[in-house]
Homo-oligomer: A and B are copies of this chain.
Amino acid sequence: MAKTDSAKKKVLVLGGGFGGVFAAKSLAKRGRDTVDVELVNGTNYFVFQPLLPEVAAGGIHSSDAVVPLRQLLTGVQVRQAEVAGVDFAKKSVIVVQGSSRIPVELTYDELIISLGTTVDLSRFPGLPEHALTMKQVADAHKLRNHVLSCLEMADVATSPAQKRQLLTFVVVGAGFSGVETVGEVNALIHQAVRYYPNVTKDDIRVLLVEYADRILPTFAEDLANYAARRLKLEGIEVITGVGTKSATSTAVELTNGALIPTGTIVATIGNGPRQLVQALGLDMKWGRIQVDREMRVPGLDHVWALGDVALIPLEDEPGDDPQAYAPQTAQFAVREGHQLALNLLASVKGNDKKLKPFAYKSKGSLASLGTTKAVADVYGFKLTGFFAWLLWRGFYLSFIPGFQAKARLLFTWILNAFMPPNLVLIQGNAPATRYIHYRKGDVVFEPGMILDGFYLVLSGKLKLKIDNPDTDEHLVRDLGPGDHVGERMMVRPLLRTGLVEAVEDTEVLFVAKKDFLRFAHDFPVLRKYFEKYIEKNFGGQGKSFAPQGSEQQPEMEKSN
């Protein structure tokens, strides 16, 4: 099955999204005798991105929104691995796979690049660290868990300001995925709220922020207006003509100067090229690989590109008009895949004259609004409301590849019509190190909080104030770059902190408690450093707020 027949050409497909999968599928079907196809993807499944907002809302399981590549692609060799680099001269690709991380070299006769794009929020200070995104299954899980834990915490919050912040949810960007995400998240919250006795609907604020002056810019204006009205009816604040400026862990700042206290920012903006793709050394424009109308990479033989990563002209002289290039949608990627397969097979057989330029007219646009409502513009017919929503579901059902996947999804949808929302909050491991931004004036800790990790100041300034009558500890200290809070967890497992405030805009590196303790205890340089430090600054003890009750360590979920 995986044997390579020397008469056949080896086609290597990089990326298992819409572009890569449909190209590989077509090749395997039409080129059985001509080519051997291998597809490399970072995960062992294909992600149906349009369904991710519904996964985030818990309406469907994540496994309903993905299809295992091996089951989807019969006749194609599937390899779960990370592409690390391409050597076009040697016609080889380096991949690293598995926990052993041995780099493996794969050679090709024909190469297809369909690696998609990534989220690039670097233009917005604080957003890369504090915004949730919506590209992968893990993102949808994270958003869902985040929203539910905000509700759990709000239900027992002690300060009204904290409660308000926990119950404010901001979605940035109102394209397809922003609109669907805000609709689904809003529906989840409003269905869930009745199980939280201390949270009422009036406590909740859900905002959709869009820089353009209307939402759904790729839709006809009347449909977009209908969508905006529907979202408002559901209680969502729709803010257009306003961009995002920056974010911290406690707020988002808009270009109109407004500062919205929130712990939840979902960014659906900022598509950018992957580092790997940038490093390939190919001609790029607008962050995409420039190809000719037949989807070949100019200047290189036997290299093709399609999907979001490629800039495919729809005319001979496209110039700088974005409309003259194929848009970055699943619909187009699928058609590109078919055409690319035909072109590649013609080329392999030496029929270069049979290569055809890519041409396709969109069949229309569909966007769900969350609560059994949608907007649709199909073959020129415009539809809104419940029927548009049914059409949306029908369309995706027909579109999702694989019979089993279809059946699973249909059953789940039918079931959901009779079911209350699923509120299960399954937490993954939080990342052990991360960067946190604080704005001048932000309270990092209130007195008495139990420290959850080690905080290292990278830039800016924090002020620490300890005032503890019980332990007779009093202290005011400025913390600048290189200073830290939390080292005393080494001597006092349940260490509580004093008041910590940001005196300036500050950036901090956070290292989670368990990971910090292991490293600091076991690594001699660090242990020596911290022992001296604690001796010098605190007289060797881990004083500070003694926890009430017993001092045993609260037991956490095991994680290894």
Q: Which residues of A contact B (CB under 8 A)?
A: 1-2, 42-45, 61-63, 66-68, 70-71, 77, 79-87, 90, 92-94, 96-105, 118-119, 129, 133, 136-138, 148-149, 152-153, 155-158, 162, 195-198, 274-276, 279, 404, 407-408, 411, 415, 418-420, 422-435, 446, 448-452, 456, 458, 482, 494, 496, 509, 511-512, 514-515, 518-519, 522-526, 529, 547-560
With the chains together, A276 CA to B556 CA distance in Å? 10
Partner of A420, one of B119, B197, B404: B404
With the chains together, A101 CA to B42 CA distance in Å? 36
A sample of 21 inter-chain contacts (CB < 8 A) reads A2-B197, A43-B425, A44-B152, A66-B426, A68-B424, A80-B425, A82-B556, A85-B547, A85-B551, A86-B549, A87-B548, A94-B548, A94-B550, A101-B449, A101-B452, A102-B158, A102-B446, A105-B548, A408-B419, A433-B515, A525-B525
Q: Is the CB of B433 within 8 A of A103?
A: no
Q: Is the CB of B547 within 8 A of A84?
A: yes
Residues of chain B with a CB closer than 8 A to A430's CB? 429
Q: Is the CB of B432 within 8 A of A148?
A: no
With the chains together, A522 CA to B435 CA distance in Å? 11
In whole Å, how far is A3's beta carbon from the nearest beta carbon of chain B?
A: 9
With the chains together, A466 CA to B495 CA distance in Å? 44
* Across the A-B interface, the 9 shortest Cβ-Cβ residue pairs: A432-B432, A98-B153, A279-B552, A84-B554, A85-B550, A70-B195, A68-B423, A85-B549, A1-B197
Residues of chain B with a CB closer than 8 A to A411's CB? 411, 415
Q: Is the CB of A152 within 8 A of B420?
A: no
Residue from A138, A196, A458 with most neighbouring chain B CB atoms (10 Å): A138
Residue from A103, A129, A274, A482 with most neighbouring chain B CB atoms (10 Å): A103
For A158, the closest partner residue in chain B by CB is: B102
- Taking A415-B408, A549-B85 as contacts, is the C-beta distance between A424 and B103 under 8 angstroms? no
For A42, the closest partner residue in chain B by CB is: B557
Beyond A279-B552, A408-B419, list 18 extra A-B contacts (CB 8 Å). Answer: A2-B198, A45-B423, A63-B424, A71-B420, A80-B425, A94-B548, A102-B158, A102-B446, A102-B449, A103-B450, A103-B496, A104-B156, A133-B558, A408-B415, A429-B430, A432-B432, A456-B522, A509-B523
